Amino acid sequence: MPQVTVYSTQNCPYCRLAKAFLDRYGVEYRSIDVGVDRKAAKEMVELSGQYGVPVIIVDDEVIVGFDSNRLKELFATGTDPASYDVIIAGAGPAGMTAALYCARKNLKSIIISKDIGGQALESWNIENYMGYRMITGDELMSKFEEQIRQNQIQIELDQVISLLPTAGGYILKTASDQEFKGRTVILAQGKQPRRLGIAREEEFTGRGVSVCATCDGPLFKERIVAIVGGGNSALQTAIEMSGIATTVHLIVRSKIRADSVYENQIEKQSNIIIHTGCEVTELKGTDRLSGIVLRDRKSEKSEDIVVDGLFTEIGWIPNTGFLEGLVTLNYLKEIEIDINCRTNVPGVFAAGDVTAVLGKQIIIAAGEGAKAALSAFDYLMVNP
C-alpha cells in the first residue's frame, strides 16, 4: 500500500472531496492541516511549489488539487456502469435537490460531478437561505451532501464532457473516459470562475493566484493580498481576508455593485484599501506571485503594488461548452428552459445557475432542481 499524505485546510471543500475519495476506496492516508501548522505549510510549498490546497503526496508523486482522474488511475477499480432513469450532471444546490426528489419518486439516478457543492462552496457567509441566520457555503453544502448520502444516492466524482443521443435515452461521457446511459438527463453543472485573462495568470495559479479564497485564504495569514471584483462575492472575500491578512487591496474595475450590508462592513475594516476604476494589467514574480501592476482606467497611470496573493471574484461562466449545437443556449451561453425546466430536447432538463433563469441564488437553484426532477418523472411516466 502506498504512503499517502493529504495537505489541506479546515474549510477547503476540495480537500474534503479528496479525503472522501480516498475513504471510499479504502486508502489510508495522513491528513495535515496547513492552515494551522505553519511548519507543515512550508513543507508543502517546498514539495509542490504550491500555495493552494489540497496537495496529495502518493509515495514520491505530488498531486496538486483534487485530481480525481489521477486518483482513479492509482486507486479505483473500473466496472461497467449500469443504465439509469435519470442522470444528473452537477452536485450543487440544483443537482443535489434534483437527486433527492428523484429518490423520493423511486427513480434510479446518479449524480456525476467534479465536486460536491458547486459554486456555493465559494460563499463565505450566507444570510438569505431560509432556516439559517448565517451559514457558510461549505457548511450548507455539507448538509445537502449528508442528506444525499442518507438516501444512498450514487455520486460519481467525474466531469461530464459530452452528451449524445442514443436509443432510449442519452449517453454521457466523462473526463475519465467513462460512459453512463440515462433515459433522461438533468443538466445542473453550474458555472466556473471567470479568469482575468492576462499574461502569467495560469503560471501563478496555485502560486499566489487563486479563485478559491475559502480554500487557500488561510495560507496567506499575516500577508498582503488583493481581491479583484466589485460584487457581493468580492466584498465578502475582502471582509473575510481582512481578518487573516495584514492588508487587503480591493480592486474594482468600475464601481462597487454590492449589497449595502457588505459596503457598510467594508467601511469598518481599517486594513482594506479600495481601488476603484482600476484593473490589474500585469502579474509580477519569479517562481511565485510577488506583485501586481494596477492601471487607473481614467488617468491611464499605472502603479506597482506588492502582494503575496491575488483572489479573483469577477463572475462566472456557464459550463455549457459540451452542449453547443445540442440544446438551445442564450447569448451568455446559459441553457434556455421553459417554466418546467425543460430544454428544447425531449428528455433533457436543466436547473440552477447554468440556466437562463433570473436570480442566481442558492435557494432558487434548489427549487429549480426540484422542478426539474418532477418534470423528469412526468416525462418518464408518459414515455415508459
In whole angstroms, give the CA distance from residue 384 to residue 80: 24
Find the catalytic residue in 12, 15, 215, 341. 215
Find the catalytic residue in 138, 216, 308, 353. 216
Grid cell digits, residue 38: 505553519
Task: Break the chain into its structural domains and give their ranges.
Answer: 4-75, 83-192+316-382, 201-312
Q: Are 197 and 315 in contact (CB under 8 A)?
A: no
In whole angstroms, give the CA distance from residue 301 to residue 23: 53
- Dump strand ranges (E) for 307-379: 309-312, 316-318, 348-350
Find the catalytic residue in 12, 15, 102, 212. 212
CATH classification (class only), 4-75: alpha beta
Beta pairing, strands 316-318 & 191-193:
antiparallel
12 is catalytic: no
From residue 1, give the alpha-carbon distance in Å to each of 27, 65, 69, 292, 305: 8, 21, 19, 44, 47
278 is catalytic: no
215 is catalytic: yes
User: What is the residue-level pLDDT of the chain in tens, covering all 384 positions?
Assistant: 789 999 999 878 788 878 888 887 889 999 999 999 999 999 999 999 989 999 999 999 999 998 888 988 898 765 555 699 999 999 999 999 999 999 999 999 999 998 899 989 878 788 899 999 999 998 999 999 999 999 999 998 888 999 999 999 999 998 877 899 999 999 999 999 999 999 999 999 999 999 888 889 999 999 999 999 999 999 999 999 999 999 999 999 999 999 999 999 999 999 999 999 999 999 999 999 999 999 999 999 999 999 999 999 999 999 999 999 999 999 999 999 999 999 999 999 999 999 999 999 999 999 999 999 999 999 999 998
Q: Are 229 and 252 in contact (CB under 8 A)?
A: yes
3.40.50.2300, 3.50.50.60, 1.10.645.10, 3.90.1150.10: which CATH number matches 201-312? 3.50.50.60
| Sole residue written with cell 418534470 | 375
Helix (H, G, I), strand (E, B) or coil at 37: coil
In one-letter notation, the amino acid at residue 286 is T
According to CATH, the superfamily of the domain at 83-192+316-382 is FAD/NAD(P)-binding domain (3.50.50.60)
Q: What are phi and psi of 32, to 5 degrees?
A: -125, 125
Secondary structure element (H or E) that encloses residue 160, with its range: strand 160-166
In one-letter notation, the amino acid at residue 179 is E
Supply the pTM of this predicted model: 0.81
DSSP string, 225-283: EEEE--SHHHHHHHHHHTTTSSEEEEEESS---S-HHHHHHHHT-TTEEEEETEEEEEE
